[in-house]
Chains A and B, each alone.
Chain A
Amino acid sequence: MDDADLVDRARRGDSAAFGTLVDRHRAAVYRAALAVLRSHADAEDAAQDAFVAAYRHLHRFRGDSAFRTWLLTIAWREAINRRRSLNAIWRRLVDRPADDRTEDVMMSAASTDRTPEQLADDRDLRRQIRAAIDALTPKLRDTLLLAQSGDYSYDEIAAIVGAPVGTIKWRVSEARRLVRQRLHERGFVDVG
């Protein structure tokens, strides 16, 4: 059963149909929120809020775009609002996002057939890349993270963020250029 059928059934009060939609799109919604919030707990809360808001406003979905795109747009706004809230700013100051999980993923991807020295270099490079991405403006950083997550097409990102596809491509390219530039300034001249 495709999304449109499930949406129709959910509109008629079939909550199980909406539950199927939640299952189908929860990872994409969660990662979109994570790209903005950078905290797994906040992303989970934002994903929940996005699904609840989507259910409440299901009657407004006209089918002009795919349900998934409409849902991701809601999740994006929810995450942006959450990031702007004073509460979230305070929590980021007091308790930094769960970097450990990200660090684990980064190192497990890099730890294949490498010597300890190379692993140490990789670790340092990836920390510097992460710091450079953190230093980007929110627009460039959000777009780069969405694009590189592998879950969304450029068209989808354009619809979610509300910018033309050309702008999205430029932002990704510009974000990469700024990260490279920062690494050059830090003395990285060869990845090996």
Chain B
Amino acid sequence: MWDDALDRAIDEVARAMTAGEPSSALRAQVMGRIAVRGGARSRTTLGMAAAALAAVAIVLAALVGYREMRPAVRSQAARAPDTTSQSARRPQPSGPGRAVAAASPNGRALRAPAPRRLVMPRSAIDALAPPPLTIDPLDVSDLAPPPAMDLAPLDLHPLDPIAPMAVAPLGEGDQR
């Protein structure tokens, strides 16, 4: 009997602890967040697609340019003057630098190639340009203007002036 009554009281208290309703604005808040998230995601997707396309175009351009440059560098190396006789007359440097110079497979001293300059004809660059991106405009509706606020003007009164205080030095009788 006692336990039954107590169980009923426990059930009532437990039910009261989870009683309540969410605010009526819950649906509007959820839908607002979903709309914002959806718009941001579509913008992010478009941006990432454009960036990926640009990256692929750059890599392709670099690859094609490199392939076109390699034969030119080889032909320049073939036309380079033979420096064997000159190097024989010059005093030879000592140390590791000399060892590297002497280690050429055909016994000839090698000259470091001139720094390569990537020069591409204008027409080749134009041919590699990616096609222009066509992106559909985002469908974003205008926000409704905020409701006008009806604020009552504040009723301010000037403060009462403060009377000047007369301060006199302490007399001997006032001192302890």
A-to-B contact residues, CB < 8 Å? 15, 18-19, 22-23, 26-27, 29-31, 34-35, 38, 40, 43-44, 47-48, 51-52, 55-56, 101-102, 105-106, 109-110, 125-126, 129-130, 133, 144-151, 176, 179-180, 183, 188-191
Contact = CB atoms under 8 A, between A and B. Distances in A.
A64 B3 CA distance: 40
B9 interface: yes
Interface stretch (B22-30, B80-88, B114-122, B147-155): B22-30
A47 B2 contact: no
A26 B22 contact: yes
Interface string B1-40: 0110111011111111111111100110111011101000
B40 to A, nearest CB: 12
Contacts of A15: 31, 34-35
16 contacts: A19-B30, A22-B27, A31-B19, A40-B20, A52-B37, A56-B37, A102-B17, A126-B13, A129-B13, A133-B10, A133-B17, A179-B10, A180-B6, A191-B5, A191-B6, A191-B9
B16 A105 contact: yes
B16 A44 contact: no
Contacts of B13: 106, 126, 129-130, 133
Contact of B33 (A26, A31, A52, A151): A52
A98 B5 CA distance: 27
A101 B20 CA distance: 8
* Most chain A CB atoms below 10 A, which of B2, B3, B14, B29: B14
A130 B17 contact: yes
A51 B27 CA distance: 9
Interface residues of B, number: 29
B17 A18 contact: no
A34 B5 contact: no
B20 A149 contact: no
Given A52-B37, A129-B9, A180-B6, A44 B18 contact: no
Contacts of A183: 6
A144 B5 contact: no
A31 B10 contact: no
- Closest 6 CB pairs between A and B? A148-B14, A30-B22, A191-B5, A149-B18, A105-B16, A51-B30
Given A35-B18, A130-B17, A149-B15, A176 B10 contact: yes
Contacts of A146: 18
